[in-house]
């Protein structure tokens, strides 16, 4: 990335919407496309027509029932269905021979469950935001999601447990990254319907909050889908089935924080709707999910039953290969016709081609392995070498062996039950909606309000990107002016990692604290005023890391550290440990009542000066673009977590205690941010993990390289006149440290009312 000079306005790439990424394909393909797009590294804004189409599909599934559709009644209905469907699968699998079981049914069933199982719990990934980070309902949802993600461990999500099964069976060809699974044509479109739709809904949590919780309730009620129960019996030791089963609680591994568990032992307790509207939305999500599960399971059961007939499997294989193969073989004759003609007709009905092959010299039913179709045409010396995979060859062998017993009169392709009546997305293409709200924020306060929510529009995305680039441009220039400052990250990344440097910074902070131990404390009025001005910043604590709730980022080698920090900032699901709530209680002690953080009233409050929103808007903006600014976020996070440890928090403690206020907020940060086992250490480890994942050629300190960008991110914390929680000490206590001095110099150069030429407040 290159950073432009301040006078140059950053021009973001053309806006892309999800609608542009969903090609005009047959409606049955749409779930596969939504699955791919929703799992993309940085999903673009979702157009309103798609949101409305998703809503319309949910409404279709809410037909009146004989009984009142309460969550309790729906759970009973779902369990009854799951038991019956599981028994149906057992009957089908009981008819299979040992070879059919392990060569046909197991791989087919494992692949069919993969789109849902690889994203298990991912529908909750964006349910928390800075706007609701102190809401007990949102915290309960986050607790459950953290359990699904395996908070505290890399590659420990429920999806990773299923990925291990795919790899063990040797069928993980398209399973990583998960979005690549949409390219696996062995998996039917209907298998993507539920996960593709709900993952797209998860990108718009403000539109589908209670519907998503209804989806979640249904899936956790069912636990393992019916076919997975049979897989577990067939492969008891091949996977961590407890991790895959959504009914099973998973320990959160958060030190000193008890794991919240439901009365039935199925995980952290979930919120209940307290209005009729919310109850209806939850029921809607549950009913829709159960409906889609039933149709998918019926289709899968039919497919598995048919695949016990080798001729059906062979027919499906020929259908799959026919289009590409028809381009060739014009000169090869079969039963008096060019083979290419047979192949052209094969897509609709492969039975005639199969009959011609069976009657010809290419197959020998009494000795399949000696059939020329196998040992000549597709052998290493044959004209069709590598056209068929090892699994394909096994299908051909089974078909040849079964010829005396199978029928090939016609091999129809069954349509999924109800597929034509339940299509996600609109029936025809519509242009993306340009809603009235799709405009750039008019200033910092409006940006602060809008950026707190997960909802994104093209204009808001453009504003956020513009703001981040302008801010980082300033940080880059200041870093160049700093030279070899002891306050910044080293010029080159230490090969042994950042822990030694971190320990040195911690000791420097402690020396500064002791040297200024006799400085005068601030007055009560100054302390309260500075604390109030920190509220827009501190009440969105952790917002620069909000992108690490993403299912893939949050369990990656570097990202799992950052999700765990975010999870700590919000209290690990417990309101009494939630940092924004602790800070609110401090404000209340000071006699200050502020509106809810996510409300317009908060952003408009006269309690706050305009300058108090500048750094918060940077946090909110960069936190929405984790993929684009990963190095900068890694550096910023080190600066954040190290900023108060060893000195400023202790000074803040003295000031707050002297005036009779609770010291809980600074005390908890001084412990959990520690440089040995706390957030500072995790922040350094995240940087090291990321750097070690790069080739040696990319670990250097060249301008624009990864380490340079990490250093710029670190510098960006103090590149404008605002600071964070530690500055309850730096600002409120009146400390005259170098951090405050730098901020003061910047304030004189760039007054809070200044605006750059792009119209973005920075």
Q: Over the stretch 56-111, which tens digit does the pLDDT of each residue have? A: 888 887 655 555 678 888 899 999 999 999 999 999 999 998 888 888 999 999 99
Say which residue, 554 or 263, is predicted with more confidence. Answer: 554
- In a shared domain, residues 208 and 355: no
pLDDT-derived band at 333, boundaries 50, 70, 90: confident
pLDDT-derived band at 519, boundaries 50, 70, 90: low
Whether the predicted pLDDT of 259 surpasses 70:
no
Final residue of a structural domain among 338, 372, 402: 402
pLDDT, tens only, 137-167: 999 999 999 999 998 789 999 999 999 999 9
- Asked if residue 665 belongs to a domain, the reply is yes
- In a shared domain, residues 680 and 617: yes
d(CA 651, CA 406): 84
**Highest-confidence segment of 317-321, 415-419, 707-711, 753-757:** 707-711
Domain of residue 369, residue span: 321-402
Secondary structure in 3-state letters for 587-600:
HHHCCCCCCCCCCH
Whether the predicted pLDDT of 295 surpasses 80:
yes
- In a shared domain, residues 338 and 461: no
Residues with Cβ within 8 Å of 163's Cβ and at least 6 positions away in sequence, in order, are 118, 172, 175, 176
pLDDT-derived band at 516, boundaries 50, 70, 90: low
- Asked if residue 743 belongs to a domain, the reply is no
pLDDT-derived band at 720, boundaries 50, 70, 90: low
Say which residue, 668 or 594, is predicted with more confidence. Answer: 594
- In a shared domain, residues 491 and 564: yes
- Asked if residue 407 belongs to a domain, the reply is no
- In a shared domain, residues 300 and 330: no
Domain tally, the chain:
3
- In a shared domain, residues 362 and 283: no
- In a shared domain, residues 236 and 361: no
- In a shared domain, residues 493 and 462: yes
Burial of 274 (0-12, 13-18, 19+ CB in 10 A): exposed
Nearest to 641 by CA among 616, 606, 607, 676: 676
- In a shared domain, residues 487 and 621: yes
The DSSP code for 521 is: P
Overall average pLDDT of the 730-742 stretch: 33
| SS3 (DSSP) at 311 | helix
- In a shared domain, residues 292 and 333: no
- In a shared domain, residues 390 and 457: no
Cβ 366 vs Cβ 344: under 8 Å: no
Whether the predicted pLDDT of 193 surpasses 80:
yes
Among 11-20, 199-208, 282-291, 326-335, which is the least confidently predicted range? 11-20
- Asked if residue 56 belongs to a domain, the reply is no
- Whole-number average pLDDT of the chain: 82
- Asked if residue 436 belongs to a domain, the reply is no
pTM for this entry? 0.83
- In a shared domain, residues 229 and 301: yes
């Amino acid at each position: 990335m290159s950073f432009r000079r301040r006078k140059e306005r950053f021009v973001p790439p053309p806006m892309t919407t999800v609608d542009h990424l969903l090609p005009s394909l047959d409606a049955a393909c749409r779930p596969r496309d939504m699955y791919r797009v929703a799992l993309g590294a940085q999903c673009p804004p979702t157009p309103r027509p798609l949101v409305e189409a998703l809503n319309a599909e949910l409404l279709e599934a809410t037909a009146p029932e004989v009984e009142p559709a309460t969550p309790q009644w729906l759970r009973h209905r779902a369990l009854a269905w799951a038991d019956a469907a599981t028994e149906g699968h057992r009957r089908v699998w009981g008819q299979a021979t040992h070879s059919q079981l392990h060569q046909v049914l197991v791989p087919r069933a494992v692949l069919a469950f993969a789109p849902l199982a690889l994203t298990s719990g991912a529908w909750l990934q964006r349910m928390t935001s800075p706007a609701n980070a102190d809401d007990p309902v949102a915290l309960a949802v986050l607790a459950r999601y953290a359990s699904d993600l395996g908070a505290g461990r890399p590659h420990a999500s429920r999806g990773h447990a299923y990925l291990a099964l795919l790899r063990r069976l040797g069928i993980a060809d398209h399973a990583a990254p998960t979005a690549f699974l949409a390219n696996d044509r062995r998996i039917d479109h209907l298998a993507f319907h539920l996960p593709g739709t709900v993952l797209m809904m998860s990108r718009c949590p403000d539109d589908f909050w209670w519907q998503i919780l209804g989806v979640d309730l249904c899936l956790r009620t069912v636990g393992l889908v019916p076919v997975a129960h049979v897989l577990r019996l067939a492969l008891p030791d091949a996977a961590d089935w407890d991790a895959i089963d959504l009914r099973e609680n998973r320990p959160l591994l958060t030190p000193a924080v008890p794991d919240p568990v439901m009365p039935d032992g199925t995980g952290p307790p979930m919120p209940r709707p307290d209005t009729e509207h919310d109850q209806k939305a939850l029921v809607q999500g549950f009913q829709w999910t159960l409906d889609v599960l039933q149709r998918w399971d019926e289709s899968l059961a039919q497919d598995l039953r048919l695949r016990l007939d080798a001729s059906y499997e062979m027919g499906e294989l020929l259908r799959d290969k026919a289009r590409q193969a028809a381009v060739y073989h014009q000169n090869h004759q079969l039963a008096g016709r060019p083979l290419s003609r047979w192949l052209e007709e094969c897509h609709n009905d492969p039975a005639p081609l199969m009959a011609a092959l069976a009657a010809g010299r290419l197959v020998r039913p009494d000795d399949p392995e000696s059939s020329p179709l196998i040992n000549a045409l597709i052998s290493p010396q044959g004209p069709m070498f590598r056209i068929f995979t090892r699994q394909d060859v096994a299908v051909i062998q089974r078909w040849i062996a079964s010829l005396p017993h199978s029928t090939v009169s016609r091999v129809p392709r069954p349509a999924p039950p109800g597929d034509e009546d339940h299509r996600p997305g609109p029936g025809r293409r519509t242009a993306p909606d340009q809603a009235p709200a799709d405009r750039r924020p008019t200033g910092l306060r409006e940006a602060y309000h809008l950026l707190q929510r997960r909802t994104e529009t093209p204009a808001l995305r453009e504003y956020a990107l513009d703001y981040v680039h302008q801010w980082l441009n300033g940080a880059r220039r200041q870093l160049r002016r700093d030279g070899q400052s002891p306050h910044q990250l080293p010029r080159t990344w230490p090969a042994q990692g950042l822990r030694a440097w971190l320990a040195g910074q911690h000791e420097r902070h402690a020396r500064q604290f002791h040297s200024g131990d006799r400085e005068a404390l601030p007055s009560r009025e100054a302390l309260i005023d500075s604390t109030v001005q920190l509220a827009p910043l501190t009440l969105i604590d952790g917002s620069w890391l909000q992108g690490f709730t993403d299912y893939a980022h949050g369990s990656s080698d570097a990202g799992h550290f950052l999700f765990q920090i975010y999870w700590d900032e919000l209290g690990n699901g417990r309101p009494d440990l939630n940092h924004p709530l602790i800070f609110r209680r401090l404000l209340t002690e000071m006699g200050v009542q502020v509106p809810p953080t996510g409300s317009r009233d908060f952003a408009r409050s006269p309690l706050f000066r305009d300058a108090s929103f500048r750094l918060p808007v940077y946090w909110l903006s960069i936190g929405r673009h984790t993929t684009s600014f990963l190095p900068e976020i890694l550096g910023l996070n080190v600066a954040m977590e190290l900023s108060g440890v060893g000195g400023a928090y202790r000074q803040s403690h003295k000031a707050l205690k002297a005036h009779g206020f609770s010291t809980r907020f600074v005390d908890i940060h001084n412990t959990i941010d520690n440089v040995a086992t706390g957030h500072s250490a995790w922040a350094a480890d995240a940087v090291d993990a990321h750097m070690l994942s790069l080739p040696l050629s990319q670990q250097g300190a060249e301008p624009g390289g990864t380490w340079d960008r990490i250093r710029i991110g670190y510098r960006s914390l103090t590149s404008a006149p605002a600071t964070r929680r530690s500055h309850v000490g730096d600002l409120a206590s009146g400390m005259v440290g170098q951090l405050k001095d730098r901020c003061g110099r910047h304030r004189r150069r760039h007054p809070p009312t200044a605006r750059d030429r792009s119209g973005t407040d920075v």
